[in-house]
A = this chain, B = another copy of it.
């Protein structure tokens, strides 16, 4: 990294010596002055005070405090000199009218479904009512059936359940939070024939096993409940009734019963205090070791004899959401937009999620306003956004992105997102041609705990991760650590899946995007989406002193300022090409591993291995036979990645050599070629079965939800045994990579004047 950084700095410095209508980058010294002035505005105590106000009452969609927060935020933007307004949308947002969950039989029990207030905490003083425990976009119902425990309720768990000889057909499943996105749990339950789904927070995952429970420590107390959305965002994000278009008043809407992203079975979240009674009440065989949580019980799968009654009835009316949009016009390129966003709605008071990121965003906006007040102007237009309705399904950002998609595709340079923030180490994901931009900033911000740059600390983290004996994928961790230890390379950043407001920009519109936050030391997981995600909790356990909110503001502020002021494109193609080569290697290895696994499993099935090893005193079943894996023709992707590497090297070299001092006409042409180069990575066809997702490089996994799948058309086709899709998306993905290379080659020609 350092070597590249030095080269870049040198070229920037040279650029400064060239006058006139040419690429004239801000000089390092000038930039340092600007950023120093920016930093001087960042006040932790101010962010603390703002959080206290914004988190004083529940602020979910439709709550009075959510609306008043939007208005408060709007007023701040205006006060700081931004051209700001509120844009509203009308979205489907169900809220519960009646809920019940009870264990029937000889020892009946009614789940409390309540989070008691905690003394000394805003949860005990808020006047607005909190939403009860519920899951947005579950399917209302009134069902009674046997109970089956399915661990995290992910695909692997159903495979294991099948080997235990247990079915969930006609049953209610109880699963724990973790291992994948919440919404997949009831979806998979439904697909397997379950009639209802209970999701609980096991103390193993965010309770006392991790640390003391709140208020003694940061973790989830016995009655803490994780609310959340179960909208099927693997198909599309945003309002369930208006895919592809903005949920304006007059938008054409699907019927609720026709929306594919709304569940058909009832689902409810519960606490571990409640869950323990249900789990203790069920029989059947003991679970596999990896299914055990931290409750002091013997976890069992359930015999099906124990009956449970689950009832959920909701108000399915439309609600208004309030996005705050603020613009600071660019002096040179007003039609090039650097967009920055963080949502303002929470599930209850939402101190950490989302207000920790929101107050950093506000602090940045204030600082930018102040800079403008002193006469400075960004070259590009800066757009600050404060989204509503992220929690139920990225509603505010998605509806805005869909409404303005034509303009955004034309004008957006980058979308930079944040959300929850905590004390710790930088975590960053996004479009990997922006790695170099991120690195420059990460090297320029000092970590308050160690005194080194946040980039150096992140690099250390990636190197240390490879030593973790519990790393999920040791080979991958080792590969990343090797990149992080290479001083000749930018620090790698992760591909993005879903789970926050970048999704519609990156994956639906195909725009470059980044998502940043700090974490790993302060702990907010234990109160996530509960009544206890309060100002007091955040101040005590997540980021005491709001130190890392300040670091976040300084980090993202720099990204915004540099993206807004850069004359030359901020992309570095070599980083991107390197990552694509790694991903292609992973996908090929996946195919080989799957092929071997299928061969072994088929031989085992043929030889009756699974029945022979089963304990005959317990039920058991054979796994579904894996399909034999063909040899895929990866040649198109091999060729595309090879070409990309060459085109990228040529472009990066040309940029370093000829970028500085580029004549104005060629600079304009270069900017125009590179501004929407990431758009070449999308295809109108979109991904198989989910055409809303246009980006063929980055997607949320259809069976992981949050986690990113890179080269998703190919990777998921192989994972899910869709061989013809694999062949087809090898070609399609090669096509978009070639389009990216084409664009690079054109840009290189402009740079080299050939």
Q: Which residues of A contact B (CB under 8 A)?
A: 203-204, 208-212, 217, 219, 286, 289-290, 292, 294-299, 424-425, 449-450, 452, 456-457, 460-461, 463-464, 466-467, 469-470, 481, 485, 520-521, 600-601, 603-604, 607-613, 615-617
Contact = CB atoms under 8 A, between A and B. Distances in A.
Copies of this chain, whole number: 2
Nearest to A613: B464
A612 B208 contact: no
Contacts of A449: 616
B467 A298 contact: no
B467 A600 contact: yes
B296 A203 contact: yes
Contact of A208 (B290, B298, B604): B298
B203 A467 contact: no
B298 A217 contact: yes
Given A460-B609, A461-B613, A609-B460, A467 B604 contact: yes
A486 to B, nearest CB: 11
B450 A616 contact: yes
A445 to B, nearest CB: 15
Nearest to A290: B470
A612 B296 contact: no
Nearest to A451: B612
A211 B298 CA distance: 6
Contacts of A217: 298
A601 to B, nearest CB: 7
A521 B295 contact: no
Contacts of A204: 292
Contact of A296 (B289, B296, B460): B296
B289 A470 contact: yes
The 3 closest A-B pairs by CB, nearest first: A460-B612, A296-B296, A464-B613
Contacts of A607: 460, 463, 485
B615 A521 contact: yes
Nearest to A604: B463
A617 B452 CA distance: 17
A469 B473 CA distance: 12
A604 B212 contact: no
A467 to B, nearest CB: 7
Nearest to A615: B521
A609 B295 contact: no
A292 B289 CA distance: 14
Contacts of A209: 292, 298-299
22 contacts: A208-B296, A208-B297, A208-B298, A209-B292, A209-B298, A209-B299, A210-B286, A211-B298, A292-B294, A294-B294, A424-B615, A449-B616, A450-B611, A460-B609, A461-B613, A463-B604, A464-B604, A464-B609, A464-B610, A467-B600, A485-B607, A520-B615
A292 B209 CA distance: 7
Nearest to A623: B467
A265 to B, nearest CB: 29
A619 to B, nearest CB: 14
Contacts of A208: 296-298
Contact of A612 (B292, B452, B521, B601): B452
A539 to B, nearest CB: 15
Given A464-B610, A600-B467, A612-B450, A295 B298 contact: no
Contacts of A611: 450
A450 B219 CA distance: 48
A615 B422 CA distance: 13
Nearest to A295: B296
Contacts of A219: 298
A470 B288 CA distance: 10
A143 to B, nearest CB: 29
Contacts of A297: 208
A463 B609 contact: yes
A384 B203 CA distance: 53
A19 B449 CA distance: 89
Find the residue from A298, A520, A607, A611 having the highest chain B CB count within 10 A.
Answer: A298
Contacts of A609: 460, 463-464
Nearest to A611: B450
Contacts of A608: 460
Contacts of A520: 615
Nearest to A461: B613
Nearest to A285: B211
Given A460-B607, A613-B457, A601 B294 contact: no
Contacts of A456: 612
Contacts of A298: 208-212, 217, 219
Contacts of A485: 603, 607
Find the residue from A290, A470, A601, A615 having the highest chain B CB count within 10 A.
Answer: A615
